[in-house]
Amino acid sequence: MKTPLVCLIVFASALQAATNVNWVPENLPPAPTAGQGLGAFLKPEQGKAVLDAALAQFPDRAAWDAYVAHARQRIQEGAGLAPWPKRTPLNAIIRARREFDGYSVENVAFESVPGYFVCGNLYRPLIAKPPYPVILSTHGHGGKIQQSDDFEKQGRFTPTMQARGGTFARMGAMVLSIEMVGYGDSIAQVTQEVHNRPFSQTLQIWNATRALDFLLSLDGADPKRVAVSGESGGGTQTFLLTALDPRVTVSAPVVMVSSYFFGGCGCESGTPIHRSADHFVSNAMIASFAAPRPMLVVSDGADWTQHVPETEFPFLQKIYSYYGAEKNVANVHLPLEKHDYGPSKRAAVYRFIAERFGLSLAPTLDSSGTIDESHVTIEKHGPMHTWSDEFPLPAAATRDIAAVERALHALQQ
């Protein structure tokens, strides 16, 4: 039996440990008004200073793990998802199957919240045998898409998203490409004008979580091989989902991991996930919460990821070293490229995920060993829509974002 003095010492040690996780770096500039996205409210040198301060404050695995647990809870609270909403039936719709060279495509919808449908396209392998790894594919921002002739330039209908889905499926994975709030088929329920609002961030995190529920419910899905990858705003979705959902085993955020840029849209930084009275995290820090799970960070020379090789990646390597997992984090930096998910970026992600999941690259390589996406059929947007004149949005679907918000929060009670 412990003496009162021993109990007091144990209590004091626990209190000190709890106190140490309450951390906000000194000399931060005032943040812009929350609600429309923080953007770059730090300068690059300030972002690096924060990373250095974090390593000094949490110099080993035990200290870092304690802070991660604390910050993860603050992120969940800041996003408006604490407690986690109740998971309701997905009522999934899978329709309009098309078969191509080594893979199939279907149009998908599921209810992340009763009455609100997340739409996407499901790519499945035709040659490989189960179990299949599953990959969630997310996208970033673009212009307005209220006119049908703009759809090919946006979201899951773009050649970039189709190439990723088809290529990964030909390699033996099941891939779900989902769209952001107010994009693609979701404009049947909410307009794009509602996108740049804090609740879009809440809803998109929840949509991605339910997307994993959907993927892992499919016959042949391998729960031990779960990946997520997206660019720009899709990169934000990638590292947020990875930080909050332990089911993700491999992640590949593209052109988004930064120590000083926080996302300029409300769907990325409109809620107070980055800062509270007792925590602070940059996007580079959130990305590091993946450790020790494998992660590839793709960066370029023309946006806020231009400093990754000398700033963000060394920080990530140090965090991974706490777990003896330095080989699990990698950076492909393309200094002459711009902000996109172009062919060379896709090739890097294909190779990284193939290695980690034991997928065959053979169906994607030409005679010289170069990634060849020419076997993927790039469809016009028409056949890819979940909703159509023949298959309209269900009459009972919610068509008001405020009602969707009320429905989600009702699941937290």
pTM over 0.75: yes
Q: For the chain, 413 residues long, give each residue's pLDDT as a single digit of tens.
A: 444 433 433 433 343 344 489 999 988 887 766 556 778 889 999 999 999 999 999 999 999 999 999 999 999 999 999 999 999 999 999 999 999 999 999 999 999 999 999 999 999 999 999 999 999 999 999 755 544 456 666 889 999 999 999 999 999 999 999 999 999 899 889 877 788 889 999 999 999 999 999 999 999 999 999 999 999 999 999 999 999 999 999 999 999 999 999 998 999 999 999 999 999 999 999 999 999 999 999 999 999 999 999 999 999 999 999 999 999 999 999 999 999 999 999 999 999 999 999 999 999 999 999 999 999 999 999 999 999 999 999 999 999 999 999 999 999 98
Confirm if 215 and 174 have CB atoms less than 8 A apart.
Answer: yes
**Per-residue model confidence (pLDDT) at position 8:** 35
**Per-residue model confidence (pLDDT) at position 196:** 87
**Per-residue model confidence (pLDDT) at position 10:** 40
Structurally, at CATH architecture level, domain 93-384 sits in 3-Layer(aba) Sandwich (3.40)
**Per-residue model confidence (pLDDT) at position 14:** 41
Q: Which residues contact 104 (CB under 8 A, 6 or more apart)?
A: 97, 98, 123, 124, 126, 169
Confirm if 243 and 289 have CB atoms less than 8 A apart.
Answer: yes
**Per-residue model confidence (pLDDT) at position 143:** 57
**Per-residue model confidence (pLDDT) at position 149:** 53
**Per-residue model confidence (pLDDT) at position 125:** 98
User: And the tokens for 322?
Assistant: 């706490």
**Per-residue model confidence (pLDDT) at position 27:** 84
**Per-residue model confidence (pLDDT) at position 144:** 53
User: And the tokens for 184?
Assistant: 């693609």
**Per-residue model confidence (pLDDT) at position 150:** 66
